Amino acid sequence: MKTGIEFESSGYGQSPDDVRSLPGVNIADLVQYFDDVRAASFRVVDGISDDELATVFTRRDRSITWSWILGHVLVEESQHLGQVAFIRGMIRGLGG
């Protein structure tokens, strides 16, 4: 909760009005939180073994592995970076 937002109020599965009512987050705090999570994530990924990558977790009605999770994170990040680039291009095309 370093951002001041409770996990249950993260915006996932909430309406646009619910998301708009979330508290503001200081940009410097958000960047620091990003840096902290990124560093912790690299420590975990750097320390994971091949056997651990094959560990199976049951999530809802299917099974997934650490390998799948890491691949999914990469795909999601790539998708969102592409969306940001697309929006930036639209803004620039509108005289921005």
Ordered by start, the domain boundaries in the chain are 1-47, 54-96
pLDDT in tens, 42-93: 999 999 999 999 999 997 889 999 999 999 999 999 999 999 999 989 888 8
Q: Is 45:69 a contact under the CB 8 Å cutoff?
A: no
Name every residue whose Cβ is closer than 8 Å to that of residue 4 and which is 6 or more positions away in sequence. Answer: 23, 25
Taking residues 18-27, what's their average pLDDT?
A: 81
- Mean pLDDT, range 12-33, rounded to an integer: 83
Asked if residue 31 lies in contact with residue 18, where contact means CB atoms within 8 angstroms, the answer is no
User: Which region among 6-10, 32-36, 49-53 has the lowest average model confidence (pLDDT)?
Assistant: 6-10
pLDDT of residue 79: 94
What is d(CA 57, CA 25) in angstroms, rounded to the nearest whole number? 33
What is the end-to-end Cα distance of the chain in Å, rounded?
35
Q: Note the pLDDT of residue 40.
A: 95
- Total-model pTM: 0.61
- pLDDT(5) > 90: no
